[in-house]
Chains A and B, each alone.
Chain A
Amino acid sequence: MDVIWEFFRWLYDTQGINLTIFYDDLDRARFLKGIWTTIHLSIVAIVISLMIGVAGAWLQMSKMIWLRNIVQGYIQFFRNTPPLIQLYFFYFAVDATLSSVLGIKGGVLDGYGWAVVSLSFFAGAFNVEIFRAGVEAVPQSTVEAAEALGYNRLQVYRYVTLPLAFRVCLPALNNNLINLLKTTTVAYAIAVPETIYVANQIWSDEYNVLEMMNVVWVIYISLVGFLVWLMHKWEKSLKVPGFGQ
């Protein structure tokens, strides 16, 4: 640690490049916490948005038209409005309304909680459409074969349609999840201490905007790079001979 400390002090003293996060304990701690918040927020929102996608694509195959309309309405609402406004809507409007209806003082969820909800709904709307496209690409004859073997609708979806749909729609899913990770930055607007929020705190205290901006670039490129690498590994592990190639 001392070598690093020495190096970054030297860098500041001789070159004027002030990376406090490497030699100042307070800055390092809050910045790491910020990155962790971004990662945590991304993972939780990705998982919930995937669940919304899987469930929504299932409901869209329902015979009940009102159910399909509800899902369609949800998709249109969250796809056609800006994520920042969605976040404000949940954090200010929904929270206040729920608090007064349920009689809870101090809000139903904190900023982090509403960021999770808002981002999950946002990405989930796209995931429904992505999965639906995948489901439609599964041949009807394959579904028929499963039905002839006695699978009920849910079993067909779980064991046949969805696994095949996943393989078809992974590239599109990839894009959406990357987008979701990047969109976690809107949480800044409601003071969730994620990467860009703490970076802002640090550069306000230390007057090192240029340095921190560069650090932030590197952080997001690394995070997205890791997600892409993970998705490609997943895609590879799902590959089966003679399907989707």
Chain B
Amino acid sequence: MNLPAWTADQPLISIKDVHKSFGDLEVLKGISLDVMKGEVICIIGPSGSGKSTLIRCINALIDIQAGSITVEGQQVHDANLDKLELRQKVGMVFQQYNLFPHKTALENIMMAPVVVLKENQQEVETRARKLIKKVRLEGKEDSYPGELSGGQQQRVAIARSLAMRPDVMLFDEVTAALDPETVKEVLVTIKELAADGMTCILVTHEMGFAREIADHIYFTDRGVIVEHGPPATFFDDAKDPRTKEFLGQIL
């Protein structure tokens, strides 16, 4: 298209005044935020405040009614959008892992590059084995999801997303369904990813983790961004009473 080519000094993801309703229920009421390459942002807020809906809009799993979202300069909600190109750039990890239960851990990781990107099977396998190592699951290559713990499944899911070599990763409450003991192993994996320079958007309830990892925190409530800022100022010096109340309940 005629759009100027995206460069790394522009936001990787730019969300402008996004509105979304499900029937009569308006879930997003004008959300705007920018994410630069290499940045890690956390979106926090009470249940039903539209966090998951927002990140599902970024990879076009959900349509929006107004506003715009661009990923590397490309309009996400455009009828002519190449969804494959977008989804290759934007990886996503879910609360319930959502692995393919009929495929082994290794196959789960290999499937999308082979089936969707039509990459060479051997090359993909080499890469997948490296990813298994990266998420510390050596020896579990041939296990089925049903044979893995929640934390292990979630790490396979992260590796499965990384196999597509995305430019940005979306994490949708990825530790919310895990046992407390296994939360840490998943958080360590995400922290390493962030340290490698991966751009990450996390919806999370792990405040300690958000504080440690995020460059910027967004607090959403009832479909709007109430307050945002770097973790230090956000957690210690919140201005809005709603933010204060939420943090007071959770910390």
On A, residues with C-beta under 8 Å from B are: 139, 141-142, 144-152, 155, 159-160, 163-164, 167, 238, 240-243
Chain A residues within an 8 Å CB radius of B99: 145
Of B144, B145, B164, which one neighbours A150 at CB under 8 angstroms? B164
| Contact (Cβ within 8 A) A242 B101 | yes
| Contact (Cβ within 8 A) A148 B102 | no
| Contact (Cβ within 8 A) B116 A145 | no
| Contact (Cβ within 8 A) B101 A155 | no
Chain B residues within an 8 Å CB radius of A142: 98, 100-101
Question: Assuming A147-B87, A150-B84, A240-B102, what are 16 further A-B pairs, CB within 8 angstroms?
Answer: A148-B91, A148-B94, A149-B161, A150-B116, A151-B112, A151-B115, A152-B84, A159-B100, A163-B102, A167-B102, A240-B101, A240-B146, A241-B144, A241-B146, A242-B101, A243-B144
A128 CA / B117 CA spacing, docked (Å): 31
| Contact (Cβ within 8 A) A149 B164 | yes
Instruction: Count residues on chain B whose CB falls below 8 Å from chain A CBs.
Output: 28
Question: Smallest distance from the beta carbon of B132 to chain A beta carbons, Å?
Answer: 17
Number of A-B contacts (CB under 8 A): 75
A133 CA / B109 CA spacing, docked (Å): 28
Of A148, A152, A160, A242, which one neighbours B146 at CB under 8 angstroms? A242
Of B59, B94, B100, B164, which one neighbours A160 at CB under 8 angstroms? B100
A107 CA / B194 CA spacing, docked (Å): 71
A141 CA / B161 CA spacing, docked (Å): 15
Asked whether any CB of chain A lies closer than 8 Å to the CB of B191, the reply is: no
Of B98, B111, B157, which one neighbours A159 at CB under 8 angstroms? B111
| Contact (Cβ within 8 A) A242 B145 | yes
| Contact (Cβ within 8 A) B87 A243 | no
| CB-based nearest B residue for A244 | B101
Asked whether any CB of chain A lies closer than 8 Å to the CB of B37, the reply is: no
| Contact (Cβ within 8 A) A145 B98 | yes
Asked whether any CB of chain A lies closer than 8 Å to the CB of B96, the reply is: yes
A164 CA / B99 CA spacing, docked (Å): 12
| Contact (Cβ within 8 A) B88 A150 | yes
Chain B residues within an 8 Å CB radius of A164: 100-102
A143 CA / B146 CA spacing, docked (Å): 18
| Contact (Cβ within 8 A) B102 A243 | yes
A163 CA / B103 CA spacing, docked (Å): 10
| Contact (Cβ within 8 A) B100 A146 | yes
A164 CA / B100 CA spacing, docked (Å): 9
Sample of 27 A–B contacts (CB below 8 Å): A139-B98, A141-B94, A142-B98, A144-B94, A145-B92, A145-B98, A145-B100, A145-B157, A148-B87, A148-B91, A149-B116, A149-B161, A150-B112, A150-B116, A150-B117, A151-B115, A152-B83, A152-B116, A155-B115, A160-B100, A164-B100, A164-B101, A238-B102, A240-B101, A241-B146, A242-B144, A243-B102
Question: Smallest distance from the beta carbon of A148 to chain B beta carbons, Å?
Answer: 4
Question: Smallest distance from the beta carbon of B62 to chain A beta carbons, Å?
Answer: 10
User: If the complex has contacts A240-B101, A240-B144, are A141 and B116 also in contact, measured as CB distance less than 8 A?
Assistant: no
Q: Which of A148, A164, A238 has the most CB of B within 10 A?
A: A148
Asked whether any CB of chain A lies closer than 8 Å to the CB of B179, the reply is: no
Question: Smallest distance from the beta carbon of B153 to chain A beta carbons, Å?
Answer: 10
A125 CA / B92 CA spacing, docked (Å): 38
Asked whether any CB of chain A lies closer than 8 Å to the CB of B138, the reply is: no
Q: Which of B59, B61, B101, B145 has the most CB of A within 10 A?
A: B101
Chain B residues within an 8 Å CB radius of A242: 101, 144-147
| CB-based nearest B residue for A242 | B146
Asked whether any CB of chain A lies closer than 8 Å to the CB of B160, the reply is: yes
| Contact (Cβ within 8 A) B61 A141 | no
Chain B residues within an 8 Å CB radius of A141: 94, 96, 98
Chain B residues within an 8 Å CB radius of A167: 102
Interface string of B189-221 (1 = CB under 8 A from A): 000000000000000000000000000000000
Interface string of B133-158 (1 = CB under 8 A from A): 00000000000111100000000010
| CB-based nearest B residue for A238 | B102
Question: Smallest distance from the beta carbon of B105 to chain A beta carbons, Å?
Answer: 12
| Contact (Cβ within 8 A) B101 A150 | no
| CB-based nearest A residue for B148 | A242
A92 CA / B117 CA spacing, docked (Å): 51
